[in-house]
Amino acid sequence: MKQTILISGAGQGIGAEIAKTFYDHGYYVGLFDLNIQAVDTLAQQLGSRAYSGYLDVSDYASWQTALEQFMTWAGQLNILINNAGILYSGCFESINIEAHQRTMAVNCMGVLNGCHAALPYLKQSNFARVINLSSASAIYGQADLASYSASKFAVRGLTEALDIEWSKYNIRVLDVMPLFVQTAMVKDMDAGSIQNIGVDLTPRDVAIEVLKLAQKEQTTFQATHTPVGLKTKILYQLSSVSPQLINRLSNLWLSRRNKS
């Protein structure tokens, strides 16, 4: 049976790896990104079941155009992956306000726009699912990643709300929550937490978890959030059982900067 997927931010990193993984499993894959050259190249490399297009996730009209193009090509939308995201790191006050605002526009409004614009098409499918890229930064607010962390908390909240609200349409809305992943986004990142925790996950690790969520038979008891990687799972579990003070102190320790 034909299955389709649309991925935002598919030009590199996690988005590109998700595209490759789903293509290898027989999906018709829509690759959308601000970097049209990157997704065009990837689509050509993948083959005839791949389609590429331009998408500025912060612009609702851009979403509408991208979805119309995708539907004309694919005929249906089964899986929406809200992957596009940006990150600025460093002391909150040292990052200019435009960068903070851009973070919220892409990471938060981008997901909200995508979910809202895609719903009419998802409702038309016999099987539909939304999988959002959240982050371990949505477990507890992260120092030196303040606006990024806040944007991922918004993604987490929206995911939880829509997973309940859209159950009436038989659409599950889920997210994955990886820790730091080996992509260009974390290169030269200015945060104590990355020094202390390290970067162990690869885009492939995340893509495999996304594939599992897309293919798994979902029940009422299936968790909305999926922490990716052992360290993230430990942090996620500890945050749910530890007193708030302990959570604060542990994150204070994680954020400390190594002296050189």
Annotated catalytic residues are: 148
User: 86: how many CB neighbours lie within 10 A of its CB?
Assistant: 16
d(C-alpha 191, C-alpha 197), whole Å? 11
User: 63: how many CB neighbours lie within 10 A of its CB?
Assistant: 22
d(C-alpha 29, C-alpha 7), whole Å? 8
d(C-alpha 5, C-alpha 77), whole Å? 6
Q: Are strands 225-228 and 79-82 parallel, antiparallel or unpaired?
A: unpaired
Under 8 Å between Cβ of 55 and 34: yes
73 Cβ contact list (under 8 Å, min separation 6): 30, 51
What is the SS3 assignment for 53? strand
Q: What is the CA radius of gyration of the chain?
A: 18
